[in-house]
Amino acid sequence: MKSPNFANFHIRKWFLQIEDTLAGESGKEADGAPLRKIVIAACLHNPFAGKYVEDLSSWIEPSPLLGQEFARRIREAAQGQAIESYGKACLVGVDGEYEHGNALLTNPAANPVREGVGGAKSWVPSTGKRGGPGTIIDIPLAHKDALYVRSHYDTVSAQFNDGPNRDEVVLIWAFATRGRLNARLGGLKASEVKGQDGLV
């Protein structure tokens, strides 16, 4: 068992990935500001690896502290830019269960992130899988206040060079400052969002 170094957790490493897109795949310039996508991830020791544990509350209960740290880091990485969309994921080392990663993606951990991006009404799109170092994971994105905003349906891919080890979990949050460049599929516009129920 590795000694905790952040609340109840042992974090081995933090990751930060930033990409700025100035033009679309065909070369057409952005219709407005460039699209910044940010991925923040923490590689944690998994104390449940290699065994079945019924009660995962020892991980869930302190997880709001992780959410607060992700929120702090996204504010720092955004450098004053507003966040319009988000998503989350977990990558679980092969001695662990997918459930172990999901335990850190529930509302207790997610709510501080919502607050950290200025408040958010919609549920956070989520995914995850088991794998080892170098595994690529695609993280879904959607508008933080209204799921019906088609222009903000997007994905960002991430890869971590040395995690997760067999007894680790990489916990991942992704963010974007706007929708897809030159989105033209109709539907509710971001400028029309009411932000009342997480849908519109």
Are β-strands 126-130 and 85-92 bridged in parallel, bridged antiparallel, or unpaired? parallel
Residue ranges of domains in the chain: 11-192
Residue 47 near residue 168, CB atoms below 8 Å: no
Residue 161 near residue 44, CB atoms below 8 Å: no
Residue 7 near residue 62, CB atoms below 8 Å: yes
> 11-192 adopts what CATH topology?
60s Ribosomal Protein L30; Chain: A; (3.30.1330)
Burial of 152 (0-12, 13-18, 19+ CB in 10 A): buried
Question: What is the model's pLDDT at position 117?
Answer: 93
Whether pTM > 0.75 for this model: the answer is yes
Q: pLDDT tens digits for 58-100?
A: 999 999 999 999 999 999 999 999 999 999 999 999 999 999 9
Question: What is the model's pLDDT at position 192?
Answer: 80
Residue 176 near residue 124, CB atoms below 8 Å: no
- The H or E element that residue 20 is part of is strand 11-21
Question: What is the model's pLDDT at position 144?
Answer: 95
User: Residue 26: CB partners within 8 Å, gap ≥ 6?
Assistant: none
**For the chain, how far is it from start to end, CA to CA, in angstroms?**
46
Question: What is the model's pLDDT at position 103?
Answer: 95
